[in-house]
Structure 1
Amino acid sequence: IGDRPFCLLMGRQDGMGNEAQAKALYGLLETPQTRLFLYDAPHRLPVSYVEDAVGFLVAGI
C-alpha cells in the first residue's frame, strides 16, 4: 500500500481472525500513517469504533 493511510479495526474475540493475525498484518503494513485499533469485542465492533475511525480519517485530511 506504499505510503497510503491504512486503518485496521479488529475485535479481540473475532471469529474471522485473531489478535495475533491482526498484529502480524499491522507489522507488515506499519508506517507512520497506519493504525491498529483493537477492541474487546467479537466481529461486531462496539460503537466506540466510530470515533476512532472518524479521527483516523480526519487526521489524514
Structure 2
Amino acid sequence: EEDLKQMRNWTKEEFVHILRRQSTGFARGSSKYRGVTLHKCGRWEARMGQLLGKKYIYLGLFDSEV
C-alpha cells in the first residue's frame, strides 16, 4: 500500500526509468541513459554496445551525463 502511494507521485519519466532498471535487458549502470555509467574517477563513461562483432565500443569520459 505504501508503494502505491509513492508511485502516484512519480512522473512518467521516473516510472519508465524504474521499469527499465528492473528489466533484464537493461544495463544496470548508475545513469538513466543506456550505455552511460559513472566511472570510478567521477566522470561519465559512454559506450556503444555490440557493433562490428565487438562487445562494445568505448566513446570516452565526459563531465556531464548528457
Structure 1 length-normalised TM = 0.25
Of structures 1 and 2, the larger Rg is shown by 2
- Structure of greater relative contact order (alpha carbons < 8 Å, 6+ residues apart): 1
Superposition TM-score, scaled by structure 2 size: 0.24
